[in-house]
């Protein structure tokens, strides 16, 4: 069970006044070795924004130095008010303290061992009253416990700081003796220090957990066909045989990657659902007669394969344009991920759900999902940039400037550290946004990727990004331009570009805008008679779907982009399209007619013409199956 620290502003103030040079280096190493983290809420930022390290050269700002270490999580004001009402207004701590208590409770419910660090004894008493399921300790004990986890030199430095902070805490408590009874607080401070060593009873519990983990690991290896110790197999009994069919799920998913693309998403989805149903039925029959403990071991061992299948089904549904079904599968994937000892699985599921929330304009929900994914990324040392960028965008649109700025500062530090890697990440984010029909957001992110490409001189990436930006401009609508007003200035903060590179960037964007303008004019030629498709679309080339517009009668206008032609609409009066933005369209051996768009359609969809296909069955929708599965597969 991971241990985390929820830290209030008083602790940071103590550290700012007393911590020596090198403190942050010790802290980072200890937290990393303990697989631990420091959490705060946005209110803490406001309370410590002017605090400085008094003993450091130049007295740098504490918040600036701590940003990359602390994980900032927003807490809804309604939750703060509800907790204050539950505790009672007179006894209730201040709003920032209440937000920390709520955060501590949430982290505890996520399975973390949580310690709230504060010398405000009221947070201990009210936390116990509200049954918030975390322990508390003063800053001095927090530093002592960090010292216990450090090496010899780290212990010496941390313990020295702990003693100085403890003396300050005692002096302050005694100075308030005339205002309230300090005996209970002093007792709590001493008890928290004495409890800093792990109890023997907890160690014995850990032995049980380790033994269970070995059995689950052995069962997973058995499912994969790997060799497992005979002693483990004996303990597992019939479970390896019962769970063995689950391996077929991963075999099936791997086969979907053979060609890297699929022309029949419906068949891929249905065959996957049929296989999953069959395996759940077979394993369910085998587990039904067994006891609860063995069944639990089996479910945890099988959850990895089932998680990957639900994720794939979610992505297939998304590529088919069914976002509601996609959300259901990805929610199941997230639920299954909680049974796997893999925070990356939870992170990826939450990121995909966050994208669906963005598509639904549910900014707060999207931000919460991306922020939680970011916390998981920090735990596993994964790439934080995708989560930070999208969380920041969602918070900005929602109007939470304080938290959006915090996300952008963290994202900026990552981009500056490695701009080559940032190009790939920002490009992937742009692709994800195009796939959920958010070209307005995609353009702003891709602009930053282009800046990085120009600065690093990666011409191949510039060409690729220019094509993506042209496509995004094609997909952009006037409605989106109005909705995201002010976003460009916000996202510009993610990258610091030099003046000379800025001129090159403006020139590149100007060229893209000119080409987009040329490709927005009506087609030079339209015709009412059936003609070969190659008369408009070069033979062997593809159109990329940017939007699917379906009317009340089920008729579909596919808005698509071609690098040479620009945007055209494919009119499919029979409907029944199973595709999504980002999929490719190929027309095989069929004739077409081309008509100019109405003024209304041109204004709404930015298309140059409307194409009717003589034989709709000759149209293929091609999706990239390499996006269905995770990189680990």
One-character DSSP codes across 198-267 = PPHHHHHHHHHHHHHHHHHHHHHHHHTT----HHHHHHHTTHHHHHGGGHHHHHHHHHTTSSSEES-HHH
Q: What is the pLDDT of residue 192?
A: 55
Query: In whole angstroms, what is the distance from residue 185 CA to residue 170 CA?
Result: 10
**Model confidence pLDDT, tens digit, residues 287-334:** 988 888 888 889 989 999 999 999 999 988 888 888 899 999 999 888
Residue 316, classified by CB atoms within 10 Å of its CB into exposed (0-12), middle (13-18) or buried (19+), is: buried
**C-alpha pair distances (Å), 550 with each of 92, 255, 440, 575:** 53, 33, 21, 8
Residue 628 pLDDT class (50, 70, 90 cuts): low
**C-alpha pair distances (Å), 102 with each of 6, 37, 138, 341, 350:** 10, 17, 18, 25, 21
Query: In whole angstroms, what is the distance from residue 84 CA to residue 102 CA?
Result: 11
| Structural element, H or E, at residue 568 | strand 566-572
**Model confidence pLDDT, tens digit, residues 139-167:** 988 898 898 888 888 888 898 898 888 87
Query: In whole angstroms, what is the distance from residue 111 CA to residue 4 CA?
Result: 10
Three-state SS at 82: helix
Question: Is it the case that residue 483 has pLDDT exceeding 90?
Answer: no
Of 313-322, 484-493, 528-537, minimum mean pLDDT range: 484-493
Q: What is the pLDDT of residue 202?
A: 41
Of 183-187, 193-197, 577-581, minimum mean pLDDT range: 193-197
In Å, how far from its chain's centre is CA 64? Answer: 24
Tokens of 369: 């999902």
Question: How many other C-beta atoms lie within 10 A of the C-beta of residue 151?
Answer: 11
Q: What is the pLDDT of residue 309?
A: 92
Query: In whole angstroms, what is the distance from residue 322 CA to residue 203 CA?
Result: 49
Query: In whole angstroms, what is the distance from residue 20 CA to residue 332 CA?
Result: 48
Q: What is the pLDDT of residue 388?
A: 94
In Å, how far from its chain's centre is CA 210? Answer: 30
Query: In whole angstroms, what is the distance from residue 583 CA to residue 96 CA?
Result: 47
Q: What is the pLDDT of residue 425?
A: 95
| Structural element, H or E, at residue 288 | none
Residue 304's Cβ-side half-sphere holds a number of Cα atoms within 13 Å equal to 22
Residue 184 pLDDT class (50, 70, 90 cuts): low
Of 13-22, 338-347, 423-432, 467-476, minimum mean pLDDT range: 338-347
- The domains located in the chain, with CATH, are 3-197 (3.40.50.1010), 199-307 (no CATH), 527-627 (2.40.50)
> Please, are residues 376 and 364 in contact by the beta-carbon 8 Å criterion?
no
Paired residues of 116 in beta bridges? 6, 136
| Whether the predicted model's global pTM rises above the 0.75 cut | no
Residue 9 φ/ψ, nearest 5 degrees: -65, -30
Query: In whole angstroms, what is the distance from residue 258 CA to residue 323 CA?
Result: 25
Three-state SS at 465: helix
Query: In whole angstroms, what is the distance from residue 477 CA to residue 472 CA?
Result: 10
Question: Is it the case that residue 62 has pLDDT exceeding 70?
Answer: yes
Residue 421 pLDDT class (50, 70, 90 cuts): very high
């Amino acid at each position: 069970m991971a241990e985390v620290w929820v830290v209030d502003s008083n602790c940071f103030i103590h550290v700012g006044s007393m911590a020596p040079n090198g403190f942050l280096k010790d802290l980072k190493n200890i937290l990393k070795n303990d697989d631990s983290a420091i959490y705060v809420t946005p209110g803490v930022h406001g309370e410590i924004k002017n605090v400085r390290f008094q003993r450091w050269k130049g007295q740098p700002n504490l918040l600036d130095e701590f940003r990359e270490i602390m994980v900032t999580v927003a807490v809804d004001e309604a939750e703060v008010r509800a907790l204050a009402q539950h505790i009672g207004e007179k006894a209730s701590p201040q709003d920032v303290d209440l937000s920390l208590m709520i955060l501590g409770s949430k982290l505890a419910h996520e399975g973390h061992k949580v310690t709230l660090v504060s010398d405000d004894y009221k947070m201990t008493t009210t936390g116990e009253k509200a049954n918030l399921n975390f322990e508390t300790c003063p800053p001095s004990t927090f530093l002592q416990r960090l010292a216990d986890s450090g090496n010899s030199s780290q212990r010496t430095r941390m313990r020295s700081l702990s003693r100085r902070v403890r003396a300050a805490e005692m002096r302050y408590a005694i100075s308030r003796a005339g205002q309230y009874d300090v005996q209970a607080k002093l007792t709590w401070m001493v008890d928290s220090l004495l409890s800093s060593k792990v109890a023997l009873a907890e160690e014995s519990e850990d032995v049980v957990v380790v033994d269970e983990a070995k059995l689950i690991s052995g069962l997973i290896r058995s499912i994969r066909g790997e060799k497992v110790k005979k002693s483990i197999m004996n303990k597992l009994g019939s479970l390896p045989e019962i769970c063995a069919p689950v391996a077929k799920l991963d075999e099936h998913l791997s086969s979907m990657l053979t060609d890297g693309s699929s022309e029949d998403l419906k068949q891929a989805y249905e065959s996957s659902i049929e296989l999953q149903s069959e395996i759940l039925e077979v394993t369910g029959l085998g587990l039904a007669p067994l006891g609860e403990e063995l069944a639990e071991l089996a479910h945890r061992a099988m959850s990895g394969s089932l998680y990957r299948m639900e994720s794939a089904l979610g992505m297939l549904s998304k590529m088919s344009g069914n976002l509601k079904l996609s959300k259901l599968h990805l929610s199941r994937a997230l639920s299954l991920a909680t049974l796997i000892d893999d925070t990356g699985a939870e992170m990826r599921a939450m990121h995909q759900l966050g994208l669906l929330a963005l598509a639904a304009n549910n900014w707060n929900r999207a931000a919460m999902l991306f922020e939680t994914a970011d916390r998981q990324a920090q735990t596993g040392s994964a790439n934080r940039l995708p989560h930070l960028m999208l969380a920041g965008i969602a918070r900005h649109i929602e109007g939470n400037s304080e938290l959006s700025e915090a996300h952008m500062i963290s994202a900026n530090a990552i981009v500056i550290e490695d701009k080559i890697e940032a190009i790939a990440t920002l490009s992937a984010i742009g692709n994800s946004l195009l796939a959920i029909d958010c070209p307005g957001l995609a353009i702003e992110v891709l602009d930053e990727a282009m800046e990085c490409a120009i600065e690093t001189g990666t011409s191949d990436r510039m060409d690729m990004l220019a094509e993506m930006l042209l496509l995004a401009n094609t997909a952009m609508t006037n409605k989106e331009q109005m909705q995201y007003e002010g976003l460009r200035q916000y996202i510009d903060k993610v990258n610091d570009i030099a003046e000379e590179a800025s001129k090159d960037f403006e020139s590149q964007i100007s060229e893209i805008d000119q080409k987009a303008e040329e490709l927005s004019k009506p087609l030079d030629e339209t015709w009412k008679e059936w003609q070969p498709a190659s008369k408009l679309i070069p033979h062997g080339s593809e159109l990329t779907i940017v939007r699917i517009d379906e009317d009340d009668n089920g008729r579909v206008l596919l808005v698509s982009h071609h690098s040479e032609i620009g945007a055209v609409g494919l009119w499919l009066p029979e409907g029944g399209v199973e595709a999504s933005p980002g999929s490719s369209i190929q027309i095989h051996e069929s004739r077409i007619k081309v008509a100019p768009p109405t003024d209304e359609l041109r204004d709404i969809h930015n298309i140059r013409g409307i194409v009717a296909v003589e034989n709709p069955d000759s149209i293929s929708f091609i999706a990239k199956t390499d996006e269905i599965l995770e990189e680990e597969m």
